[in-house]
Amino acid sequence: MEDKNDWYLKMLAWRELHINQRQFILLLSFVVGVVAAIAAFLLKSTIRLIQNLLTENFSRFEVNYWYLVFPAIGILITSLFVRYVVKDDISHGVTRILYAISQRKSIIKLHNTWSSLLSSAVTIGFGGSVGAEAPIVLTGSAIGSNLGKFFKMDQKTLMLLVGCGAAGAIGGIFKAPIAGLVFTLEVLMLDMTLTSIVPLLIASVTATSFSYIFTGSAFMFQFSTYEPFAIHRIPYLILLGIVCGLVSLYFTRGMNSLEGKFRKFKNPYAKLAIGGVTLSLLIFIFPPLYGEGYDTIEALLNGHSTSVLDRTFFLGLGDSPWVLIVYLSLIIIFKILASTATTSAGGVGGIFAPSLFIGCITGFVVAKGLNIFGLDVPEENFALAGMSGLMSGVMHAPLTGIFLIAELTGGYNLFMTLMIVSTVSYLTIILFEPHSLYAMRLAQKGELLTHHKDRAVLTLLKMENVIETDLTILSPKMSLGELVTIISQSKRNIFPVVNPEDGVLVGVVLLDEVRNIMFRPELYQRFNVQKLMISPPATINQDLPMEKVMEIFEDTGAWNLPVVDTQKRYVGYVSKSKIFSSYRHVLVHFSDE
């Protein structure tokens, strides 16, 4: 063990001596990009292998009852793997990355470099109605984080390497280098300088390049039928953007609500049974819900819309546009239930693919509906734009939506179409929902790091670091004479009054309130602390986020406030001056030199 440690320390010393920090970060970002691309290739290949083994003999023209079995088996295997092998929560990958960043540690556990990859491959391969992208983003970020920890990088560099892993994962799995970069800046909300962007670019471009080597130069979705942007269609694109924003709101609020309902089931096997049965029934009735749904996207983008009715009870009714619209609308409605059932029951996956899937169908349904009323609207273009609109709305990331869809399909000639729909969708949803589905859970806890630097720094401040415990505690029954003795020995002008039996804060004594009688000895036994104390303007719970603490200070106009626990027991005091001092300290480290 000593020899190993000696080798490790010598290696670190050699690196510090021969490779400067900036060059080494660029080298690490390249390595992260390569490994993220390999991980993305392994994940997609494993999913494809499992799906081919299970479904390659399925007939297009018959309802298949295996759909009632495979999804539940996949969730069962994944749930047992996570429970007994991983022994950790690996769901909600992007939310976990945001949490790691918001805690200013950027430390992601080592098992995340492989556990999300294996579990999501089984979940999706067997039909789980989720995407592989969030797990691979968590995998890439874990690779960056653990590589940085191995070389003893500081926290700022760790955060950058987490971003490199995410950018490389997106670039690698989608062959979309620009989207990888923009996703990291927009969704992960890293506040980067131009110097920091270079490693992100290296990771993203490297991962994309290796993905081309592994899988060829074809775009992820073949899209050859498009019409050029036309000014007279702008009102229809605005309408599509509004619809995408509202569907995004349904997606966000619906999934959050359904996850809350599943959390009420405390027995994991009950959740497994309910989720597995729900998912299997939905996929049996709506086969496009099987897996990521990319076959359906491919069909709608290339004019084969009736093929979505294959293996369903609606087969043969595709000639009626209303049947198709109703069927696809039902898929939009039930997709969030299928995705939530997958993850809440024990499966592992993300919302990238579901948002693309619902977006494509939303765009197609809007176009189909407009065409029924005699308007000339290109359905394939609208399906493409719908993907951009839903991603922009669900993730609150319009630039990611625009660049990702353009890079996924090669639809660069439709930038104006994508920009209009994405922007309108984003503007629509932020009227109702200030946070993306990823960020919503952290925002509710006050643990979300954002581009707003003041709020970001307040998020990084922790209550335990600003609570002062050096104030002298008084008992309500103390006499004025005892109080004067304590005041003469104290350097503070605030004295919390605490009930000695249960430690509950009952009031405070301010020096200014007793100054006029403290030099009158004849009153020392006539007054006690209980008569002299006053109520504080407010009390602060020790678990409150710092942003809420500052709101209380602003509302009360106070400079010092007592801190209590959930049982109102006295913990300490917090002052504005202490917060400002800590704020300046964190801001120095948060900002780039």
3-state SS string for 433-467: CCCCHHHHHHHHHCCCCCCCHHHHHHHHCCHHHCC
Predicted confidence at residue 239, as pLDDT, reads 96
Q: Could you say which of 190, 215, 240 is where a domain stops?
A: 215
- Which CATH number characterizes residue 417's domain? 1.10.3080.10
| Tokens linked to 368 | 């189909």
Residues 336 and 354 in one domain: yes
Domain presence at residue 11: no
Residues 296 and 205 in one domain: no
Number of structural domains (the chain) is 3
State pTM to two decimals: 0.75
Q: Could you say which of 411, 436, 456 is where a domain stops?
A: 456
Predicted confidence at residue 281, as pLDDT, reads 93
DSSP 179-219: HHHHHHHHTS-----HHHHHHHHHHHHHHHHHHHHHH-S--
Interatomic CA distance for residues 66 and 71, integer angstroms: 9
Domain presence at residue 409: yes
Residues 312 and 346 in one domain: yes
Residues 192 and 309 in one domain: no
Q: How many CB atoms lie within 10 A of CB 214?
A: 15
Residues 207 and 346 in one domain: no
Predicted confidence at residue 583, as pLDDT, reads 55
pLDDT in tens, the chain (593 residues): 445 567 877 887 888 788 888 889 899 999 999 999 999 999 999 999 999 998 887 776 677 788 889 999 999 999 999 988 988 877 776 777 777 766 656 788 888 889 989 999 999 999 999 988 889 999 999 999 999 888 888 777 888 899 899 999 999 999 989 999 998 888 776 655 666 789 999 999 999 999 999 988 887 887 766 777 888 889 999 999 999 999 999 999 999 889 888 888 888 888 899 999 999 999 998 989 998 888 899 888 887 877 887 777 776 665 678 888 999 999 999 999 999 999 988 889 888 899 999 999 999 999 999 999 888 888 889 999 999 999 999 988 899 999 999 888 887 788 899 999 999 999 999 999 887 777 765 555 544 444 444 455 455 556 777 788 888 889 888 888 888 888 888 878 889 999 888 888 888 888 877 877 877 888 778 888 888 888 888 888 888 877 778 788 778 778 888 899 888 899 888 887 777 665 555 544 544 43
Residues 383 and 490 in one domain: no
Domain presence at residue 7: no
Tallying the residues shown for the chain, one arrives at 593
Domain presence at residue 9: no
The amino acid at 249: L
Q: Could you say which of 156, 190, 215 is where a domain stops?
A: 215
Domain presence at residue 221: no
Domain presence at residue 6: no
Residues 30 and 175 in one domain: yes
Predicted confidence at residue 559, as pLDDT, reads 80
Residues 148 and 203 in one domain: yes
Calculate the alpha carbon distances from 549 to 422, 542, 553, 556 in Å. Answer: 36, 9, 6, 11
* CB contact at 8 A, 391 and 356: yes
Domain presence at residue 349: yes
- Which CATH number characterizes residue 495's domain? 3.10.580.10
Residues 526 and 567 in one domain: yes
Domain presence at residue 10: no
Matching residue, tokens 């899209």:
223
Look up the domain containing 388 and give its range: 231-456
Residues 251 and 194 in one domain: no
Residues 59 and 192 in one domain: yes
Residues 330 and 239 in one domain: yes
Predicted confidence at residue 581, as pLDDT, reads 63
Interatomic CA distance for residues 130 and 169, integer angstroms: 17
Predicted confidence at residue 102, as pLDDT, reads 64
Phi, psi of 330, rounded to the nearest 5 degrees: -65, -35
